[in-house]
Copies of this chain bind each other. A is one copy, B any other.
Amino acid sequence: MRRSQMLLPTLREDPKDAEIASHILMMRAGIIRKLDAGLYTFLPLGHRVLLKVINIIREEMNRAGAQELLPPILIPASLWRESGRYDIMGKEMMRLQDRHENDMVLGPTHEEVFTHIVRENVQSYRDLPLNLYQINTKFRDEIRPRYGVMRCREFIMKDAYSFDIDEAGLEKNYQAMREAYRRIFARCGLEVVPVQADTGNMGGSNSEEFMVPSSVGEETIIHCRSCGYVANVERAESKREFSSSSKSMLPLEEIATPNVRTIEELVAFLKVSVDRFIKSLVYKTDKGFVLVLIRGDFMVNETKLKHVLECVELEQASEEEVLQITGAPIGFVSPVNLKQKIKIVADESIPFMRNAISGANKKDYHLKNINPERDFVWDVVADIHEVVEGEKCPTCGEVLRSYKGIEVGHIFKLGYKYTEAMNVRVLDKNGQSITPIMGCYGIGVGRTIASVIEQNHDENGIIWPMSIAPFHGIIVPVNMSDSRTVEAAEKLYQQLSRRFEILLDDRDERPGVKFKDADLIGIPIRITIGKSFAEEQKVELKLRRLEEKHLVPLEEVEKVFEEWYEKEMAPYLL
């Protein structure tokens, strides 16, 4: 492609609303442009990368035995009502009515549609297993779209859904996808870590996220260097040992704590260590209000809490609601002497506490010497705490670390949730009607590309892995007014384009502009036709990722280019 003919608007300055490297560079390198909040266009340079990533995904999915199809994006609400998710999905799911006032949905995910397709077209165990996928546009009306294509409202996703007659079959499909994902990300030049994950409102039991370790990631990963345990903080566990106290129970005592509300303030005010406090938090859920208790040095993990409560919506209650239920404002709540009786969920840490401190359900007062069981009882005790760095590994007991990550893929064992809700039945070998078991497997395509840039850039721009680079090489004729330079560039362009994807920077721009742009857009191999060409018929070859420059006689360029290309491509050919 000739640069002069390409829509490739590079920017010298960082755009104002871009915060992270990939977003900044995708804007600056003319890869994407914003149309509206969370809505981006892939410009021609970006589209070339998009097609390559899609192609890698398609090849590996097919290799793993999955079959591609293309269902509609627009889905009748009836299917979502059947699964029970129409009301659960909330505002993130985009909804509309058609001209006949039928409720429709823009698919944020496609469990219902694929389950329906299988229900309509599969009768017997002989038709299974199936692993069906699409590479298609999805819509999620994120409340705060950000970071460019990392978290946007319209995006391309590969999502696959497997159907098996039994758990052994599902396990096989799940492992095949796990391996396919490993290959896909490796071929894209992306380092990922499969991490144990929560299953969210997808339902199901077994799930891993493919995480790109990155300081700009929105996920927190808990990791044990010793045994390799790794999990999303949403579902991470730790080894917690609590022992019963031998101290005797002291009588309850009310203490005045005027305007002292937070644990930090209390620790400072009462000069008592933080693990002596009981945090008492009122939550509002779709199943009613609940009082949640946890030791002062722990934080509540709301994902775990949701599972314990089997609820969908969960948020901290408002000041008013707390006042009504407990009789006290936030900060002075206690499980002792609640005004209204509500469900109490206690973290595992609670039963072992002795002579603890919490609110008094009375403004500006706390209670000392609270003793669980003596002074209050709970309805449920469970692990609802959020694991933090420094806790002990649940597997081996060594110290846990945490780091941030970007979720680029997700594999799930969904179980029978959708096939049961939507009444999918097939005949097994014995002619018995059974319900198939499902898995689902997703990859965010745009987010994968952004993550590659997060991992592969320097202060000058992107450094594309050869496998997904928009062009393999870029030819930079330094002096466009020198006819011999132009001629040589043109000849090389013709020659190399026969087998490689080449960008010819034929613009009449200063060399500095051309070099800056070449670095910014990150083409793996740069061929410069400059001073050495005039002097000794040599052109300069340089890898974007290395500093070193090589002078090569014009007639040898093709051979050297091919060698370099193969060497650069090798790591991504699995």
Task: Give A residues with C-beta under 8 Å from B.
Answer: 4-7, 9, 30, 33, 35-36, 39-44, 46-47, 50-51, 65, 67-76, 91-92, 94-96, 98-99, 106, 113, 116-117, 120-122, 126-127, 130, 132, 136-137, 139, 141, 143, 153-154
**A67–B91 touching, CB < 8 Å:** no
Shortest Cβ gap from A322 to chain B (Å): 27
Please indicate the chain B residues that have their CB under 8 angstroms from the CB of A7 in the complex.
67, 69, 117, 121-122, 127, 130, 132
**B4–A40 touching, CB < 8 Å:** no
Q: A33-B121, A137-B137 are in contact. Are A50 and B76 (CB under 8 A)?
A: no
Please indicate the chain B residues that have their CB under 8 angstroms from the CB of A120 in the complex.
33
**B68–A44 touching, CB < 8 Å:** yes
**A41–B71 touching, CB < 8 Å:** yes
Q: List 11 A-B contacts (CB under 8 A).
A: A6-B67, A30-B121, A36-B76, A40-B72, A41-B72, A47-B69, A74-B153, A91-B99, A94-B98, A98-B141, A99-B143
In the complex formed, the residue of B with least CB distance to A71 is B41
In the complex formed, the residue of B with least CB distance to A39 is B72
**B9–A99 touching, CB < 8 Å:** no
Shortest Cβ gap from A68 to chain B (Å): 5
Q: How far is the CA of A72 from the CA of B4 in the complex (A)?
A: 26
Please indicate the chain B residues that have their CB under 8 angstroms from the CB of A6 in the complex.
67
Q: How far is the CA of A155 from the CA of B494 in the complex (A)?
A: 38
Q: How far is the CA of A407 from the CA of B22 in the complex (A)?
A: 43
In the complex formed, the residue of B with least CB distance to A4 is B126
Majority DSSP secondary structure for residues of A touching B = mixed
Please indicate the chain B residues that have their CB under 8 angstroms from the CB of A117 in the complex.
7, 33, 41, 43
Please indicate the chain B residues that have their CB under 8 angstroms from the CB of A36 in the complex.
72, 74-76
In the complex formed, the residue of B with least CB distance to A9 is B121
In the complex formed, the residue of B with least CB distance to A95 is B96
> Can you add 6 more A-B contacts, CB < 8 Å, to A39-B72, A50-B70, A73-B154?
A40-B72, A47-B70, A73-B73, A74-B153, A74-B154, A99-B143
Shortest Cβ gap from A176 to chain B (Å): 13
Scoring A6, A39, A50, A139 by chain B CB atoms within 10 A of each residue's CB, the highest score goes to A39
Q: How far is the CA of A96 from the CA of B93 in the complex (A)?
A: 12
Q: How far is the CA of A113 from the CA of B65 in the complex (A)?
A: 38
In the complex formed, the residue of B with least CB distance to A43 is B69
Q: Which of B39, B71, B122 contacts A74 (CB 8 A)?
A: B39
Please indicate the chain B residues that have their CB under 8 angstroms from the CB of A35 in the complex.
71-72, 75-76, 113, 116
Q: How far is the CA of A95 from the CA of B98 in the complex (A)?
A: 8
Please indicate the chain B residues that have their CB under 8 angstroms from the CB of A43 in the complex.
69, 117, 121
Q: How far is the CA of A39 from the CA of B117 in the complex (A)?
A: 13
Q: How far is the CA of A183 from the CA of B560 in the complex (A)?
A: 37
Please indicate the chain B residues that have their CB under 8 angstroms from the CB of A71 in the complex.
35, 41-42
Q: How far is the CA of A74 from the CA of B107 in the complex (A)?
A: 13
**A41–B67 touching, CB < 8 Å:** no
Query: Can you list the 5 inter-chain pairs with the closest CB atoms, starting with the nearest?
Result: A96-B96, A41-B71, A39-B72, A44-B67, A9-B121
Q: A7-B121, A74-B153 are in contact. Are A69 and B41 (CB under 8 A)?
A: yes
Q: How far is the CA of A389 from the CA of B75 in the complex (A)?
A: 44
Q: Which of B42, B95, B122 contacts A69 (CB 8 A)?
A: B42
Q: How far is the CA of A431 from the CA of B76 in the complex (A)?
A: 53
Q: How far is the CA of A196 from the CA of B431 in the complex (A)?
A: 60
**B98–A96 touching, CB < 8 Å:** no
Q: How far is the CA of A531 from the CA of B395 in the complex (A)?
A: 63
**A65–B5 touching, CB < 8 Å:** yes
Please indicate the chain B residues that have their CB under 8 angstroms from the CB of A33 in the complex.
117, 120-121
**A72–B154 touching, CB < 8 Å:** yes
Q: How far is the CA of A141 from the CA of B74 in the complex (A)?
A: 11
Shortest Cβ gap from A27 to chain B (Å): 11
**A141–B70 touching, CB < 8 Å:** no
Shortest Cβ gap from A445 to chain B (Å): 11
Q: How far is the CA of A40 from the CA of B46 in the complex (A)?
A: 29
Shortest Cβ gap from A157 to chain B (Å): 14
Q: A4-B126, A117-B33 are in contact. Are A139 and B68 (CB under 8 A)?
A: no
Please indicate the chain B residues that have their CB under 8 angstroms from the CB of A72 in the complex.
35-36, 39-41, 154
Q: How far is the CA of A47 from the CA of B68 in the complex (A)?
A: 7
Q: How far is the CA of A71 from the CA of B99 in the complex (A)?
A: 25
Q: Which of B69, B113, B122, B126 contacts A44 (CB 8 A)?
A: B69
Q: A117-B33, A121-B9 are in contact. Are A70 and B95 (CB under 8 A)?
A: no
In the complex formed, the residue of B with least CB distance to A1 is B67
**B132–A99 touching, CB < 8 Å:** no
Shortest Cβ gap from A187 to chain B (Å): 20
Scoring A4, A120, A143 by chain B CB atoms within 10 A of each residue's CB, the highest score goes to A120
Q: How far is the CA of A127 from the CA of B9 in the complex (A)?
A: 9
Please indicate the chain B residues that have their CB under 8 angstroms from the CB of A47 in the complex.
68-70
Please indicate the chain B residues that have their CB under 8 angstroms from the CB of A137 in the complex.
73, 136-137
Please indicate the chain B residues that have their CB under 8 angstroms from the CB of A143 in the complex.
99
